[in-house]
Structure 1
Amino acid sequence: MDNIHYILLDEPLSLKHAEELEKRIYFISANINQFKLVKGESTINGVEVSLLPGTDPIEIKTKLITVIDNEIALQKVLPPRVIWKSDKHDTTYQDDLFDKLLEKEMVYEMGEGQVCFGEKLIFLMDTLDRMIKEMTISNFGAIEYRYPTLISTKALEKCGYFKSFPHFLMFVTRLHNDIDTYRDFLEDYTSHNGVGSYLLSSCQNVDYCLPPTMCYHTYHQFQNTQHAESQNRVITSIGKSFRYESKYHRTLERLWDFSIREIVFMGSKDFVLDSRQKFMEASFALFQKLGLEGHCEVASDPFFCSEDTAAKIFNQRMQELKYELRLKVADDRTIAAASFNFHDHFFGEQFNIKRGESEWMSTGCVGFGIERLAYAFISQHGMDEEKWTRILSNGCPEAILAD
């Protein structure tokens, strides 16, 4: 049985920090099985944790306090600035929606954060993606690329991902290319009656990772290139992205692998900012047609495990570098279904992408989580497929529905 422990904070933490604390606790230790914040009227006074047997609660408290002191308590909590709100709808939400999807064999659970989709969900996700793709190509002149699944570790390093999001990383490795290694592995495999962590001693290659998002492929694609000052680009792609979500994985909302439709703007700073604004407006209009209730607000990325986490979050919010489209999945809960980001010349500089002789390329990107879009769609519109078709026809030509 798990051991329940009450960890008293040395200093009470403002309730305003509850969300930031909650999304970090499972990453503090794999030995935390469950947790609950212990709250006062305006403060968080402690955390009740369920720990795996043999776990030292003092060690857990030390880790918890370190994260609070370095990453959370220093954050200046700003009320989210909402830049767009949809029309309100009279919607009845089902608490057991995911169970209903399982019952109707529209999805199958395959493991932690792993879901298999049936034909009906595939139709819905593909249709939503085609609508976004069509809008991107027809309105913004985007060129589409199809990227490989793996991304080089060096490319991910240039993106700064290791320093900002180490908790999400998922590496790909292989056995060292040597006949003796293969033989030793087969012996170990036979003696252990299966695969386990012992095999890591036989592995060597960590040159590739599973990509956490699609836009990193685009920056890697255009590294060490020079473009005319008047040349601007819009690139789109869709592919599987991977993020380790620990025990936060939930229904279709937080999968370990998921599909992202990404749009990257490359060019002058004015072009990128203008394109991002126009794309947001086009997206809001599309979701209004689809009858989806939600809002768009200033947001920040889930930085973790860095001494300057609080500064990064504050800077990102103050400069409004990231907007997040949040769609309702319950009366009192929304999920992030899309983000609209501006990077200035960070990726241009990191990947040596230039405008003219000396100016770094500015970039921005838009990402849509296709599974999350589909889940929000079903949460709000129900499971009647004929109703889906009627609603989807409001947002796209009949040709897209027929594909």
Structure 2
Amino acid sequence: MTPTIEEQRIAFGKELIAHGWLIPTLAYGVNGLGGQAEAVVEGLQALSSKIARQQEYAQLNTLRFPPVNSQNLLRRTDYVASFPQLMGLVSTFAGESKDHGKLLAAAEAGDAWEKQLEPSGFALIPAVCHPLYAHLEGKTVDGECYQLTGECFRNEPSEDPFRMVAFRMREYVVLGTEEQAKGHRDRWIELAQQMLESLGLAIVSESANDPFFGRAGRLLASGQREAKLKFELLAEIFPGHPTAIASGNWHQDHFGANFSISAADGSVAHSGCFGFGLERIMLALVARHGLDLASWPHDVRSALSL
């Protein structure tokens, strides 16, 4: 019997663990990276940076935000309304000694000790670009490009190595006029496809939608796809089952309006971003070139400085 796509993905994940590419933890979807995997991810970041420096941006700003922010950011970006199923909030212990005793007793008994915790007001970041919009609140922008790398959290635990709960994204974000933002997204869809194909991957670009929640979400998803706001770059890692490894988004003036960001012409700023799923691309390269990094094609290893 032919294995299902889920079985194929899980079997691939076990191979990655056996050969030290992935390091399992106590939670599904939360994986460490071995030395070879991390070297590939670092190479991908360096290669994308090289491409970014070759573009004619008024300015290329490299920023780094932590993977935790105020939970208010989830509300300000409308993530609470659109993707509640993917959110992650941070709870902490705020009790006294007697409360600590209850917590310890529950933990030792195997009970739900986490009920002794309280919301902290912090949230895990679901998208690397979200803190940028809060950083630019009330400012005027004119097509500057921001290079961002960071950890994202999506509550989708799975044994599928391509479906990680915690993962890194390298994003290129431009805010400005509609022309600047949309043009940036379109340019990077082309640049990224060329980059990924130069590494030996067969890439297809397709219009896509985000996993909006609920009945209203289905309408939003349909509208997003119809307006071609989101495109994904897909690699056929398993025959007949293409996997998204990067995406380009034009948010229109959504974040500009939510954070009072203006374009140079006085209009509400539009934003466009392109994001590389670093672990997903690394996994796609392993599936394409094999588990022995030393046997990868010379031009691929050279491009990634391996």
TM-score scaled by length of structure 1? 0.69
2:32 maps to what in 1? 116
Matched with 1:325 is 233
How far the C-alpha of 1:95 sits from its partner, in A, is: 8.2
Q: Give 1:183's aligned amino acid.
A: S
Distance 1:193 1:356 in 2: 56
Aligned length: 296
Aligned positions of 1:222-233 closer than 5 A: 222-227=136-141, 231-233=142-144
CA 356–196 in structure 1, closer or farther in 2 if over 3 Å, else same: farther
Assess, with a 3 A threshold, how the Cα gap between structure 1 residues 204 and 384 changes in structure 2: closer, same or farther.
closer
1:135 is aligned to 2:51: yes
Deviation at 1:117, TM superposition (A): 1.2
Distance 1:175 1:98 in 2: 35
Query: How many angstroms apart in 2 are the aligned matches of 1:350 and 1:264?
Result: 17
Superposition map of 1:264-275 within 5 A: 264-275=173-184
Counterpart contact for 2:99–2:116, Cα < 8 Å: no
Partner in structure 1 of residue 41 of structure 2: 125
What is the aligned counterpart of 1:278 among 187, 194, 200?
187
For residue 97 of structure 2, what is the aligned residue in structure 1?
183
Retained in 2: the 8 A contact 1:137–1:143? no
Name structure 2 gaps, 5 residues minimum.
1-5
1:299 matched to 2:215 = no
Q: 8 Å contact 2:69–2:123 — kept in the other structure?
A: yes
Q: Which residue of 1 aligns with 2:148?
A: 237
Structure 1 residue runs of 5 or longer lacking an equivalent are 1-33, 35-92
Deviation at 1:277, TM superposition (A): 1.6
The Cα shift of 1:331 comes to 1.4
> RMSD value over aligned CA atoms?
2.2
Q: Which residue in the other structure is 2:18 paired with?
A: 103
Structure 1 SS opposite 2:155: coil
Amino acid in structure 1 at the alignment position of 2:206: E
For 1:201 and 1:384, the matched residues in 2 are separated by: 47
- Indicate if the aligned counterparts of 2:177 and 2:267 stay in contact, CA closer than 8 A: no
- The verdict on how the C-alpha distance between 1:182 and 1:387 changes in structure 2, with shifts beyond 3 A counting, is same
Contact 1:291/1:391 (CA < 8 Å) preserved in 2? Answer: no
- How far the C-alpha of 1:174 sits from its partner, in A, is 1.7
Q: Secondary structure at the match of 2:251?
A: strand
Q: Give the letter for the 1:237 counterpart.
A: L
2:257, 2:188 → 1: CA distance? 24
Q: CA–CA distance in 2 between the matches of 1:296 and 1:390?
A: 26
Shift of 1:201: 4.4
Q: 1:212 to 1:202 in 2, by over 3 A?
A: closer
| Superposed displacement of residue 222, structure 1 | 0.5
Please name the residue that 1:401 is paired with.
305
Sequence identity (%): 22
Once the two structures are TM-superposed, the CA of residue 349 in structure 1 deviates from its matched residue by 0.5
Amino acid at match of 1:211: I
How many Å separate the matches in 1 of 2:264 and 2:190? 30
Equivalent pair of 2:172/2:273 in contact (CA under 8 Å):
yes
**TM-score, normalising length from structure 2?**
0.89
* Kept after mapping to 2: 8 A contact 1:185/1:199: no
| 2:55 counterpart of 1:146 | no
Match of 1:352 among 254, 260, 268: 260
| Residues 191-248 of structure 1 deviation map (CA, whole Å, 9 limit, x = unaligned) | 224485444344242x211001101011111112234xxx2211011111000004xx
What is the CA-CA distance between 1:109 and the residue it aligns to? Answer: 1.3
* Cα 1:204/1:313, change in 2 over 3 Å: closer
The correspondence for 1:363, drawn from 271, 278, 285, is 271
Do the aligned partners of residues 241 and 95 (structure 1) sit closer, same or farther apart at CA in structure 2, a change above 3 Å counting? closer
Q: Deviations over 1:282-318 (max 9, x none)?
A: 111112211101211000000112x322221111111
1:250 and 1:118 map into 2 onto residues whose CA distance is 17
Aligned to 2:134: 220
Counterpart contact for 1:322–1:341, Cα < 8 Å: yes
C-alpha distance in 2, partners of 1:373/1:202?
Answer: 37
Report the structure number with the largest CA radius of gyration.
1
